[in-house]
Structure 1
Amino acid sequence: MRKVLVTFLLLLGFGFLVAPTTSAAPKDGIYIGGEVNKYYSIIEFINSKTKTEEMNKAGLANVVLFQDDMMASASSILSKGGFTKAQVPHEHGKLPGKYKKVNGDYIIPEPAFTSGLNGSTDTVFINEEQQVVFRVGIEGIAETVELVKVGENNKIEVLTDLTDDGNVSSGDDIKDDGVYSGVYDIIAGSEGTLGYKVVVDSELYSDSYEISALKHLTNEEITTASAQSGETEQKFTELSTSLSKEEAQAKTVEWLNSKEEVVSAGISEDGEGIWYELDSGVLGGTLINEDSSKGGRNAATLTESLNDAPIDYKENIANFAAMSTDSLSVGSKRAAIISSFASQGGGLQLPNASYDNVSNLFTATGFNADRLTDGESDIDLFKNLENYGVVVIDTHGGTFFAQGVGEYNSSQVIFLTGEKATPEKIQMYEADLKKGRLAVIADYFAITPSFISHYNESLPGTIVFNGSCQSTKNDTMSNAFLNDGAQTYFGYSDNVLVSYDNNVVSTLFNSLVANGMTTGESFDHVINTHGTSDGYGAYFQMKGNNNVVISVEGLVNGKFEEGNLNGWFGNGDVRLISKLGPLYSPEGKYMSIISTGLGSVGESDSYISQTFNIPAGMTTLSFDYNVISEEPDEFLDSVYDDKFQVVIDPSFGGFEPQTLVYESVNTSAWLLDFPIDIDFYGGDDTSYEIGWKHVEFDVSHLAGKGSVTLDFRVWDEGDSAYDTAALIDNISLN
């Protein structure tokens, strides 16, 4: 009886109090998706004797009304209080899921790629079986999705199917999320490049995904790679006792080229370093610059006055928001201030008080500032720069290698990490070393441009300050950052004096942060204050956009339409998806999902958060959410009580954290009459939703007062077998 009543209420919500005439437009009607896959005209729906059973089978989210070029799902109509409040525009061919056309001019959507083919690795080692997970995003209806190997003369060999069925053993974490996955075991018999593609329905091909087949480093090669940099510096030092610098360099290079394990060697472009390429494929070198610069040793013995430009990061905070509304802002309110040699490295140690002040400046103005020094400046950090809207690098660098060494047709700008290149670490990072993404310079790992390009494909409009020597000697490093989404890149054309660098970084970020200037205005202010160079040939330079500002005002990436989570800090099972079974974003293409650990992910406590200032004049924070769980209805009123919560937490005094949303298995209003066609891995095969809900919260009392943190969190209670997930979208300030 209750199901029939719900169906009747749906008809009332649709506004069908009076049966329409037979002249109703064919495009007006009701689509019942899921396993039903049927489209009714309005007359057909009213007269159907099976509609109640079909709606129960499909689930409310998969029952969609189309009327007067608008559409809304039944679950949205119920949760938002009627069709008028729930309706959104629709276009022909945009029905959710797979369907049959009964009336009207709708067509079955053609499949299309929403993302390129990706693998869990781009490197395998020869004569060693390695399991690789392949994934690709597809929208529309795909009958077959096959992984193929591309051989000589483009010969195609079908390897395995990719599916979107939630089968974890096949690499697919979430059923029907538009991501097709498959597992294939690769065994390469020789070194080379392996090419793979995905073919959909035997006619739509993806771009190629390439995997390199490499030999493992032998123990002897690892020992050589670890020791060669130090031995090269020692050789140069010995020769320098009786020869000029230039003669000692030449003799050191001659000595390197005489070694059986060295393929080539040379002097760096500026004459202040020596590089080599080993027969194992590992690149390396040493710094031989002896002045007080950031391209060599003994920088810590600096005796001249730094004459730091003071950062008044307290008095000028009020100016932080006074910036042009026509300017572009960085896409993440997190800053990384990185000093690789704050207290380590002996002669490589660098004075870093000015960088400490920059970190304090960001913290005082509401940014999340990560101050990372010495060993914290490791390879993993530089793999994850997409987390940051501002990256400030304080380290040594230079321009190494020759044309044809690595993937570039010129020498490469590199900079040092704070991670020591021990034999154990060389073995750990052997793939990156053999592919030229890392080098061993002065006994530390060095970052090359291809490392930035490979690991940081979607920087959030970042401002990068690379304070190492020669960071703009050529465009290899600046282009790596700018092509991956950075907006502005600052650096030096040559070996820069530490004193000049400290003055530059202080004035630059005082201008950008405390005074709200654009990148171009801040650059001009540095030049006007400290001159165009350090007086010894190192010019301060800016690449990219000159109209970018650093702002904590307002939310960033609240609709997720860039296809990434830039601007948000996340932990646990946090993803971006275009669909979840019959559920789509209420507006746009993408939505965020946080869960208690779906598929292969074991995390049971997940969240996304963002810290920002609510600009003066803003009155409303709004967002949409839905919660889906396997725990209703068999675990209602039990200890298995998964939860979802949204909290806003002001950082300033006088205001306590406020809970905006609280949902739980035991207390939420689940649509129990309509199981939704979503089957999470593990647990059972029944899931329920609460339906999309829209939240509006008055923030006028928080506007213009300082930073707040908005936190969305979902977590397990009682078990981890039955999962719960929250969908989040359309987060905005108005």
Structure 2
Amino acid sequence: MITKILCWSIFTVLLCSACSSESGDSGANSDSGSSGKGDGVGWGIGGGGIPAGDAADGETGDMPTIPDDTGMAEDGDAESKAKHEGFPSQELGVTIIGPTGLPALAVANPNLALSGILFGSAEKIVVECSCGSPVVSGSTFWNTEPVVLSPGDNTIVVRAIGTDGQQAVDTLTVTYNPLFAFDGPPVARPNALIVNTPSTLFITIPISTYPNFDPNTVVLQQVSPTGTVLGEWPMVDNGDFDGKGDEVPADGVFSTRLAVTHPMAETMQFRVRTTVFPGAGQEAYIALSARVWIDAVDGITEAQCKTTFDTITEAQVLFQQTLDSLGITSAHEAVVADLKTHPDVAAVGMAPNGTGVWVVFQSGLLGFVRGNALGTRGAPSPSNGTTLGTQTGALEVGNGVQSRTALLLSPFADEFAGQDETVPTHTLLETTGCPPFSTTAKNGEEADLAAFAQTTEMGLVQLVGHGAVGYGGIDPELVSHFRWEDERSQAVVWSGQVVNCAQFAAPQATCSNSDPQACGPTGECVYTSASGKVATGLCLDHLPVDLRMGRLAFGGDGRYVVLPSYFQHRAQTNPFPGSLIYLGTCHGAWNGSLLAPLYASGAKAIAAFTGTVSSAFAFEQGQGFFQRLFAEGLPAGSAILTQPDPDNKSTWFRLFGASNLDLTLSEILNPDFETATTAGWTVQGDGRVIAQLAGTLPVTGKFMSIVSTGLGYTVQTGELSQAFCIPGDRTKVTFWWKFYSEEFLEWCGSKYQDTFETSIESAQGQLKVVTTNIDALCHPDECLGCGTQFDSLIPSDVSFDKGEVYHTQWRKAEADIIPFAGTGPVTMRFFVTDLGDSIFDTAVLVDSVKFE
């Protein structure tokens, strides 16, 4: 955690405590929330993270001068000559990003290297740990030599300490299971509960890479922060969706389903255990997964909303009235003084550099009075000659984004008319051709919280609006409860969603899988019962959860304000697909509180402004940035210009992350599904990535895709599609597919003809690479006309919900694509559909797509 920072010269201490799983101590510092570490997804894999050596500290551009109020000279004092110059920041911060950005991780290898981000400057970075004292190298992006873990839970604390004793802390709990690893952490759907409201929890975990475990011993545990087991439930991988919530049998994903009506507000912790057999001569032991957190919160009443909303909007009116008559300093002072008299206000403070006024209410809810001057995208900050520099984060992590979906958000489009960079960006993306981006623009109230939640699915995000900084120095216990990254001031942005207190009075709505939009922009349908393919349930509104957990605040202008943990929390289950994020707001890069969680959650690069920015300058820089990225084909680092805002001399437009990010790459993304996700592909119906289907493994690598007519609650169709461009020198496409169906053999020759198609489509026409159905794959003796594509049908080692399953062998498809090569965008589709019924399921595996 971090307290108010007045001095930039720091050193960083890395502490690691280890204990065995038998002791029950699971790292209370992290698990109880005291670290505040968020729910992001890290860049590093295994023990890797950032390569050692010069690549970790190859920042470019001028180093920043030191702010006048730090007590240090701008150029010359020994105190400013730190050994490790972190990313320029107005406040001290440190974030672990490798091997994960999550608060917890389970590994099979005892040797673990760490990597992370430093904001500010460090005299030295020291590692003190019972598991070793690794050498630390790097600056903005630092890394270590491996530490040696003990079996069980190991708590690693990264502590940045200023010369005056001030601290910034991040914590990671690593569970070491010798010779065994879970494929990922548990995932909870939903990941929140409303107190005294009936709900259903589905918790899953993938286990397939290491086969040396007993599948009959996979058990979900609820545990206390110190590791005491509070409850246990068996998990299965048998396709019993109605009973245990398992959607696909024998796919290596274990599931359980819990009916819950939770009686009290608290954050619950769950993990998974299983019995592991390490090898000959070694005793079996209990392996433990990383933890997953589920927040149970009190609902918000309409009266509570109105009280909070009236207080913050009245403060906004007072701010504007005082601003018009006495100026911005007096406006801030008047609002702070007035709010201190309100009995419902627990704490109030003026945001750094006059960016507004933040409020913590007695209820634990947050508010923010926006303090921007006309023509800016936040609030004025004094120009004291301080330059936050033109540095870019220099980490080189791959060249391209992993999804060609773009989301352009402009909540204040009317205010910024004529100076809204989403408008030229939209035109640019629609006319680029290659690479072909699927672009969605949301303006005004359409840029609601549902749109903000979708950002973690996008390869390109452009947000144009208002931003500010606040909540520095609030009660550390509240920071811990919110699970914020640390106690730094939080860089916030405004959404387009208008506060409507009547929403909190609405009765809990019903929903079904046939109407996924029934729960509104902040809701989720939680299934409670099912009959065949029809699932019904109740809506869970995430709005009160996000407000209670400090992810959203009430804005004085009547809109919801989004905090960094909002993105970080959603990225826990939907990490950014190597995204480029543009923040056309004030203070997005002010202190790293927004940059770090976005980067740790999967974004490759973030372009943002360091302070108050005029709309004219933001429009000029943002429009030029995307023009240079797409029209000129420059990498992200070269597309950033270095001049300050003429109206705000201390504000610079800067890039954090991969300076080599190339947005012009246009070939197929994730063709072998080795990201372990559907990143790059558009999913309709049932399409997912799995590691196995009973005894069937991928043709190459560790993962493959599956599309089906309705495993789980999906009805009738499944599709994976992607738009991309085929290089002019490619002549053929190949991939492997394997067809499973309950309609074999009984329904050969009938009207029940589930179908699988693969096509490539473009302005040049359509190419059907594969078209097949039940009769085509049945033996010729089964019916007249059967067997036109028969190879073999084998009784399957997997069963679906209605009948016996047969499958084909892996079959290789190949087609000439010369007419499509080098001619512009194409769309490739893998499509499975029911014909004649939706009772009997069909699933098709697809792997290893290649254009040669």
If the TM-score is normalised by the length of the shorter chain, which range does it land in? Answer: 0.7 to 0.9
The answer to whether structure 1 residue 222 and structure 2 residue 336 are counterparts is: no
The answer to whether structure 1 residue 163 and structure 2 residue 243 are counterparts is: no
The secondary structure found in structure 2 opposite 1:249 is helix
The answer to whether structure 1 residue 411 and structure 2 residue 450 are counterparts is: no
The 1-side partners of 2:339 and 2:502 are apart by 24
- Match for 2:570 among 440, 451, 455? 455
Deviations 1:189-219 (A, max 9, x none): 4333222221102611112222223222233
The 2-side partners of 1:506 and 1:248 are apart by 33
CA contact (8 A) 1:350 1:395 kept: no
The secondary structure found in structure 2 opposite 1:618 is coil
Aligned to 1:590: 703
The answer to whether structure 1 residue 658 and structure 2 residue 767 are counterparts is: yes
The secondary structure found in structure 1 opposite 2:353 is coil
Moved more, 664-673 or 478-487: 664-673
Structure 1 residues 616, 216: closer, same or farther in 2, change over 3 A? same
Structure 1 residues 542, 672: closer, same or farther in 2, change over 3 A? closer
- Match for 2:319 among 227, 233, 236? 236
Aligned to 1:138: 207
AA aligned to 2:422 is Y
Aligned to 2:335: 252
The 2-side partners of 1:503 and 1:239 are apart by 31
AA aligned to 2:770 is V
CA RMSD of aligned residues (A): 2.3
The 2-side partners of 1:258 and 1:578 are apart by 59
Deviations 1:647-689 (A, max 9, x none): 10113xxx211111111122224677532122112x22x1121
Deviations 1:229-259 (A, max 9, x none): 3221122234456644323322211221221
- Match for 1:677 among 773, 797, 802? 797
1:607: Cα distance to partner? 1.0
1:350: Cα distance to partner? 4.5
- Match for 2:455 among 385, 388, 404? 385
Structure 1 residues 122, 280: closer, same or farther in 2, change over 3 A? farther
The secondary structure found in structure 1 opposite 2:666 is coil
CA contact (8 A) 2:456 2:567 kept: no
Unaligned runs of 5+ in 1: 1-108, 298-324
The answer to whether structure 1 residue 341 and structure 2 residue 412 are counterparts is: yes
The 2-side partners of 1:276 and 1:596 are apart by 50
Moved more, 351-360 or 566-575: 351-360
1:481: Cα distance to partner? 1.3
The answer to whether structure 1 residue 151 and structure 2 residue 242 are counterparts is: no
The 2-side partners of 1:426 and 1:289 are apart by 30
Moved more, 709-718 or 397-406: 397-406
The 2-side partners of 1:278 and 1:326 are apart by 42
The 2-side partners of 1:379 and 1:258 are apart by 32
CA contact (8 A) 2:223 2:230 kept: yes
Aligned to 2:295: 212
The 2-side partners of 1:730 and 1:714 are apart by 18
1:327: Cα distance to partner? 6.7
Q: Residues 454-493 of structure 1: matches in 2 within 5 Å?
A: 454-457=569-572, 458-493=575-610
AA aligned to 2:628 is S
The secondary structure found in structure 2 opposite 1:402 is coil
1:728: Cα distance to partner? 1.1
Aligned to 1:575: 688
Aligned to 1:648: 760
Structure 1 residues 662, 228: closer, same or farther in 2, change over 3 A? farther
1:554: Cα distance to partner? 1.0
1:586: Cα distance to partner? 1.0
Aligned to 1:555: 668
Aligned to 1:78: none
CA contact (8 A) 2:419 2:615 kept: no
Aligned to 1:508: 625
Q: Residues 93-108 of structure 1: matches in 2 within 5 Å?
A: none
The 2-side partners of 1:471 and 1:330 are apart by 21
TM-score for both structures, normalised by structure 1: 0.76
- Match for 2:728 among 604, 616, 622? 616
Deviations 1:24-50 (A, max 9, x none): xxxxxxxxxxxxxxxxxxxxxxxxxxx
The 2-side partners of 1:732 and 1:446 are apart by 44
The secondary structure found in structure 2 opposite 1:490 is strand
The 1-side partners of 2:273 and 2:445 are apart by 45
CA contact (8 A) 1:561 1:588 kept: yes
The secondary structure found in structure 1 opposite 2:468 is strand
Q: Residues 312-327 of structure 1: matches in 2 within 5 Å?
A: none
1:398: Cα distance to partner? 1.1
Q: Residues 599-614 of structure 1: matches in 2 within 5 Å?
A: 599=712, 601-614=713-726
The answer to whether structure 1 residue 123 and structure 2 residue 195 are counterparts is: no
The 2-side partners of 1:399 and 1:197 are apart by 35
Structure 1 residues 181, 220: closer, same or farther in 2, change over 3 A? same
Aligned to 1:181: 255
1:411: Cα distance to partner? 1.0
Structure 1 residues 695, 424: closer, same or farther in 2, change over 3 A? farther
The 2-side partners of 1:517 and 1:565 are apart by 27
TM-score for both structures, normalised by structure 2: 0.66
CA contact (8 A) 2:302 2:504 kept: no
- Match for 1:371 among 435, 441, 446? 441
Moved more, 207-216 or 458-467: 207-216
The 2-side partners of 1:112 and 1:508 are apart by 43
The 1-side partners of 2:230 and 2:351 are apart by 45
Structure 1 residues 709, 532: closer, same or farther in 2, change over 3 A? same
CA contact (8 A) 1:144 1:200 kept: yes
AA aligned to 1:389 is G
Aligned to 2:427: 360
Structure 1 residues 248, 374: closer, same or farther in 2, change over 3 A? closer
The secondary structure found in structure 1 opposite 2:629 is helix
| Structure having the higher Rg | 1
Q: Percent identity?
A: 25
Aligned to 2:130: none
The 2-side partners of 1:151 and 1:415 are apart by 34
The answer to whether structure 1 residue 195 and structure 2 residue 269 are counterparts is: yes
- Match for 1:395 among 452, 460, 465? 465
The 1-side partners of 2:827 and 2:721 are apart by 7
Unaligned runs of 5+ in 2: 1-177, 276-284, 381-395, 506-540, 778-788
CA contact (8 A) 1:672 1:688 kept: no
Structure 1 residues 640, 730: closer, same or farther in 2, change over 3 A? same
Structure 1 residues 673, 387: closer, same or farther in 2, change over 3 A? closer
The 2-side partners of 1:365 and 1:271 are apart by 41
Deviations 1:473-510 (A, max 9, x none): 11011112111111111111112111111111121111
The answer to whether structure 1 residue 437 and structure 2 residue 551 are counterparts is: yes
The 2-side partners of 1:349 and 1:262 are apart by 33
CA contact (8 A) 2:717 2:832 kept: yes
More helix by share: 1
1:115: Cα distance to partner? 1.6
The 2-side partners of 1:352 and 1:624 are apart by 49
AA aligned to 2:571 is N
1:128: Cα distance to partner? 4.1
Structure 1 residues 671, 698: closer, same or farther in 2, change over 3 A? closer
The 1-side partners of 2:501 and 2:790 are apart by 56
Aligned to 2:834: 716
1:179: Cα distance to partner? 0.8
1:692: Cα distance to partner? 1.1
CA contact (8 A) 1:124 1:214 kept: yes
